[in-house]
Chains A and B, each alone.
Chain A
Amino acid sequence: MKIRNYWNLRDFGANLWENAGRPVRVAIVLISIVLVGLLPFTGGSFLATPIASFDAVLVYPVGMFVLMSLGLNIVVGKSGMLDLGYVAFFAIGAYTMAILGTTTKLNTWEVMPIGIALSMIAGVLLGIPTLRLRGDYLAIVTLGFGEIVRLVLLNSSWSKGPNGIANVPMPPNIGPLKFELENQKVFFWVVMAMILLTIWMIRRLTVRRPGRAWEAIRQDEDAAELMGVPTLKYKIWSFTLGAAVGGAAGVLYASKNLYIAPEMFTLNVSILILACVVFGGIGNIWGVVIGATILGYLPDRIRFISDARLLVFGLVLVIVMNFRPDGLLPRKKREKAIVKKEANA
């Protein structure tokens, strides 16, 4: 196998990481967290967005896209199943927050577990019949599921139909940190914390049994099944975990946006998230983070793209798949390391 050393940030980062001792690693992590945490203060520079305020753009779309892409990446990237109805879980989370937030006294943090649980239940319910299917069937069934959730929300009276639900409460303040519409820095930090939590969860899972099972399923499902991996069980798990992240993102989105309507949860959102995952590099956490950041941010920075946003994203899918199927940051390192180890042995 030809090893390319140029144009491969992933390997550069991974080498740096591998050669560093524990204190250096802790330092790298802390410095990057602080740097990213300071991002909302850079709004005055060339990064500023012409229409929405920079803080708001950092929360939605950028932060939300990163979070959802990470969730979808568990399904598409880790275990190789194409889920086109990811927006359904986002919608379920958002509506849980909106309904419970307007009818009961529960605040955002108390609704969060309920929203996650409901999305996970939906994930299991959808997963059990459909995950036996092959890739393309699964894609269409999940796509249908996403549309159905939207249609049910649109036509039911408990979800207030096409009018949507307004006056969703904001999260309560955490000590001195206040949640305000004009100043969304705190929201950004909350999203960031959720992203870090998700990354941590994925990294822990990846090196353990579920991660290995997903990898096996992705490479060859039949072989995995023959080796005694309970494939259906792990596929449902990966689906459900992805759903949980989507639900969490939905809860936060509803309480940030204060208003939600079924039209926010169309198929387009699923496609956008998929484009983020594919663009950055399927299966690679950092690739996904970078891909989602770029694709979330650029349409707000450059007016032209935001008009034809979907067109550009569709093109991204085709071009990336054809010319750079691994995305911006490919996940070659680990596979390469395995090859190297085998060569040395």
Chain B
Amino acid sequence: MVYGVLRMINFANSEIFMWGTFGTIITSRDIFGYTQTSAPATGPKLALVLISQLLMSMAVAGLTAVFVEYVAYRRLRAKGTNRLATLISAIGISIVLSELMRLLTDSRPVGSPRVLEKIILGEVWGANLRLDTIITIFAAAGIYFLLERFVKLSRMGKAIRAVSMNEDAAKLMGVNLNRVITTTFLVGGLATGAAAFFYITVFEYTKFNIGFTMGMAAFTAAVLGGIGNIRGAFYGGLFLGLLEVYASAVLGTQWKAVTVFIVLVLVLLFKPNGLFGEAVQTTRA
């Protein structure tokens, strides 16, 4: 999301997400010693575990993001090489991240111990309202709100917007380009880490390649809503989620990804700005 601001898709973002999910699991499994069979936590212990999981996930993801920026982007930016080089370097680093995790986990999926009990709170029109999903929805809204505040109001947010509009001009106005970009990566990483935590709480499972599927979906959502537009990404995600469910119901689950891709191409063909967005077509060589 924040990467729309930098006019650059961060290929490694999905891998950052994946590392965040592992951070979450490690906290509950190895630090607090939960196993698959142990009883869900209650009371203050629950809050402690959940919050430390969240913080750990955000820390891991944030650090990974800064690392990615440092290794794959900074030198190339200093050199002023073309976009192609940056792109290839980003793809390289994302492969390194996911392959490293594959070798570390022997390609096996890793389950998460259940910390938060899945209490069914009530039923609305036949759908179960589960505690974890409700928390996730509210947290997503909260993150969205915080991000928008941060970009709109804070001093750093202003600098980020300036860099996004025109790097050179921002530099001339005394903006520390490297610091701004690193911060952007850090903030993006933190948000991604939070998302990773909620993903784990709901699905309780991760694997070295979940990043890829998620990344594709996130990208489609961003394009649907219009790149560089936080509100657009929000509605795009909503729309995409509904579309996936209907596609699986009508055509069968295996065609879900195909449908999403066809919609993506159609949107790019007829409304390349996305449903809410600004132009993405302009070449910036």
> Which A residues are closer than 8 A to B by beta carbons?
76, 80, 82, 84, 129-130, 132-137, 139-141, 143-145, 147-148, 151-152, 154-155, 219-222, 267, 271, 274-275, 278, 282, 307-308, 310-311, 313-318, 321-322, 325
Q: How far is the CA of A326 from the CA of B118 in the complex (A)?
A: 54
Residues of A within 8 A of B92 (CB): 275, 314-318, 321
Residues of A within 8 A of B72 (CB): 318, 322
User: Are B76 and A321 in contact, with the CB atoms below 8 A?
Assistant: yes
Judge whether B95 is part of the interface by a CB distance below 8 angstroms. Answer: yes
Task: Select which of A136, A220, A311, A316 is within 8 A of B9 by beta carbon.
Answer: A136
User: Are A322 and B88 in contact, with the CB atoms below 8 A?
Assistant: no
Task: Select which of B76, B88, B95, B212 is within 8 A of A82 by beta carbon.
Answer: B88
Given contacts A148-B258, A314-B96, contact A137 B280 (CB under 8 A): yes
Q: Which of B75-130 contact A (CB under 8 A)?
A: 75-76, 79, 81-89, 91-96, 99-100, 103
User: Are B255 and A155 in contact, with the CB atoms below 8 A?
Assistant: yes
Interface size on B, residues (CB 8 A): 46
> Which B residues are closer than 8 A to A by beta carbons?
8-9, 11, 71-72, 75-76, 79, 81-89, 91-96, 99-100, 103, 212, 216, 219, 223, 254-255, 257-258, 261, 264-265, 268-269, 272, 280-285
User: Are B268 and A84 in contact, with the CB atoms below 8 A?
Assistant: no
Residues of B within 8 A of A84 (CB): 91
Total CB contacts across the A-B interface at under 8 A: 126
Task: Select which of B99, B258, B265 is within 8 A of A129 by beta carbon.
Answer: B265
Q: How far is the CA of A298 from the CA of B219 in the complex (A)?
A: 35
Q: How far is the CA of A286 from the CA of B278 in the complex (A)?
A: 42
User: Are B103 and A308 in contact, with the CB atoms below 8 A?
Assistant: yes
Residues of B within 8 A of A321 (CB): 76, 85-86, 88-89, 92
Q: How far is the CA of A216 from the CA of B264 in the complex (A)?
A: 29
User: Are B258 and A315 in contact, with the CB atoms below 8 A?
Assistant: no
A-B contact pairs, 16 of them (CB 8 A): A76-B84, A129-B265, A134-B284, A135-B83, A139-B9, A139-B11, A220-B285, A221-B285, A308-B99, A311-B96, A315-B92, A317-B93, A318-B72, A318-B92, A322-B89, A325-B81
